[in-house]
């Protein structure tokens, strides 16, 4: 009888162990729970601000313009020097007046905001002129390409009290990244410890202007692409101060452009977290988009991974968010997530608030990128 009892206990324990192993194995290999952001219907707002555009040298100008048009902005006029860029913009926005000069826009007292994607080294001087004419300024990244320019912009911004907003589009115009901000603020992964931002881009050599290949015009790869990741590092960790631990840049492949950089990476330390950044111009032609941009946000209770532009695992489109916490793995389709930056900036212009982004954050993200660029060791790969 004792033997039968031992056999029964042994068999029961074996069955329980098998069930546990099976359950654990099933949990580890289960498909992620899939969800999607539901679109919210909202009426098109009546125009609340009048804005103009100066400088069309980067295609980001269309995203910047649309961000304001979606959220109560009225496009009044624009100015550029290049006939081909003027023709493209006029075709897209036929109701916008072509100004005879930059001065015509700056002297128009009805214009509250100037939006720009001019050649990068011209952006800070333009922003200074805009602020000195009593207007706010929204500029494509990099909004400032040297520490000397940053000092001048900070001084004029403080003197005038105007808004100098750099549109870090990898956060403001990427729906999955906006959703990640909501989740982090809600405590979905606990306290954020680190961000890892990867910003690969495709070269498209034949379509690039001459200034694209010369650092004196665009500031260098970390100054340019890396400013996106510096912004995200500060935002997701909540850091209000930071320093560059190490950085390196190099031109490891495109030797025909000696003033160009095609690779860079950075380690950052903030008062509330750490960050790693890698940026490059090596997106292969076989990818279905210009770059497999990724952001990983590590928290004490989980992590979020964002596939901004594509999911090479098979899902179509961009704006993919994966969240893993102590309970489950979730996938969220963020393609219908609302983009609040334009509405927030319009609100800030009217009410003199800082809901879109604080001025301190805007300048600190740029400063970290500029310091990482200035302090970078030269990378040589033979």
- Any idea what the CATH number is for the domain that residue 147 is in? 3.40.50.720
The pTM of the full predicted model, rounded to 2 decimals, is: 0.89
Domain count, the chain: 2
Q: Are residues 158 and 125 in the same domain?
A: yes
- Any idea what the CATH number is for the domain that residue 188 is in? 3.30.360.10
Average pLDDT over residues 171-199: 98
- Reported as a pLDDT band with limits 50, 70 and 90, residue 224 is very high
Q: Of the residues 167, 185, 207, which one is the last residue of a structural domain?
A: 167
Q: Is 233 among the domain residues?
A: yes
pLDDT in tens, 75-86: 999 999 999 999
Q: Of the residues 141, 167, 193, which one is the last residue of a structural domain?
A: 167
Q: Is 263 among the domain residues?
A: yes
Q: Are residues 186 and 330 in the same domain?
A: yes
Q: Are residues 160 and 223 in the same domain?
A: no
**Residue 212 clears pLDDT 70, i.e. is over it:** yes
CA 176, 179, 184, 185 dihedral sign is: positive
Q: Are residues 241 and 116 in the same domain?
A: no
pLDDT in tens, 259-299: 999 999 999 999 999 999 999 999 999 999 999 999 999 99
Q: Are residues 234 and 292 in the same domain?
A: yes
**Host domain of residue 207:** 171-340+371-378
Q: Are residues 181 and 103 in the same domain?
A: no
Q: Is 267 among the domain residues?
A: yes
Q: Are residues 143 and 270 in the same domain?
A: no
Q: pLDDT at position 21, please?
A: 37
- Reported as a pLDDT band with limits 50, 70 and 90, residue 34 is confident
Q: Are residues 77 and 153 in the same domain?
A: yes
Q: pLDDT at position 39, please?
A: 78
Q: Are residues 114 and 150 in the same domain?
A: yes
Q: Are residues 105 and 160 in the same domain?
A: yes
Q: Is 240 among the domain residues?
A: yes
Q: Is 126 among the domain residues?
A: yes
Q: Are residues 201 and 316 in the same domain?
A: yes
Average pLDDT over residues 183-198: 98
Q: Is 21 among the domain residues?
A: no
Average pLDDT over residues 79-100: 98
CA distance 184 to 189: 6
Q: Is 269 among the domain residues?
A: yes
- Reported as a pLDDT band with limits 50, 70 and 90, residue 178 is very high
Q: Is 229 among the domain residues?
A: yes
Q: pLDDT at position 12, please?
A: 41
Q: Of the residues 151, 167, 183, which one is the last residue of a structural domain?
A: 167
Q: Are residues 125 and 141 in the same domain?
A: yes
């Amino acid at each position: 009888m004792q033997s039968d009892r031992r056999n029964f206990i042994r068999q029961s324990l074996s069955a329980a162990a098998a069930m546990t192993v099976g359950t654990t194995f099933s949990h580890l290999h289960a498909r992620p729970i899939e969800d999607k952001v539901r679109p919210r219907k909202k009426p098109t707002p009546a125009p609340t601000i009048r804005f103009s555009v100066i400088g069309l040298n980067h295609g980001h100008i269309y995203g910047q313009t649309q961000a304001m048009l979606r959220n109560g902005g009225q496009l009044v006029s624009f100015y550029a020097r290049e006939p081909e860029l003027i023709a493209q913009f006029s075709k897209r926005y036929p109701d916008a007046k072509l100004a005879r000069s930059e001065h015509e826009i700056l002297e128009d007292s009805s214009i509250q905001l100037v939006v720009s994607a001019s050649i990068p080294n011209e952006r800070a001087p333009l922003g200074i002129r805009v602020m000195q004419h009593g207007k706010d300024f929204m500029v494509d990244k990099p909004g400032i390409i040297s520490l000397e320019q940053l000092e001048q912009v900070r001084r004029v911004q403080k003197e005038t009290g105007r808004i100098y907003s750099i549109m870090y589009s990898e956060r403001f115009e990427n729906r999955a990244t906006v959703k990640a901000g909501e989740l982090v603020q809600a405590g979905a992964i606990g306290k954020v410890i680190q961000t890892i931002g990867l910003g690969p881009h495709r070269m498209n050599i034949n379509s690039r202007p001459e200034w694209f290949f010369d650092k004196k015009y665009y500031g260098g790869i970390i100054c340019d692409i890396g400013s996106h990741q510096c912004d995200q590092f500060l935002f997701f960790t909540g850091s209000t101060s930071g320093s560059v631990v190490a950085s390196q840049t190099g031109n490891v492949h495109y030797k025909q452009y000696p003033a160009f950089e095609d690779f860079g990476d950075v380690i950052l330390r903030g008062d509330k977290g750490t960050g790693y950044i890698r940026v490059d111009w090596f997106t292969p032609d076989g990818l279905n988009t210009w770059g497999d941009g990724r952001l990983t946000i590590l928290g004490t209770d989980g992590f979020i991974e964002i596939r901004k532009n594509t999911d090479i695992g098979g899902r179509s489109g961009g704006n993919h968010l994966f969240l893993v916490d102590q309970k489950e793995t979730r996938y969220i389709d963020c393609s219908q997530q609302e983009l609040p930056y334009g509405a927030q900036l319009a609100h800030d212009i009217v009410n003199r608030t800082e809901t879109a982004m604080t001025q301190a954050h805007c300048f600190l993200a740029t400063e970290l990128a500029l310091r990482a660029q200035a302090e970078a060791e030269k990378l040589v790969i033979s």
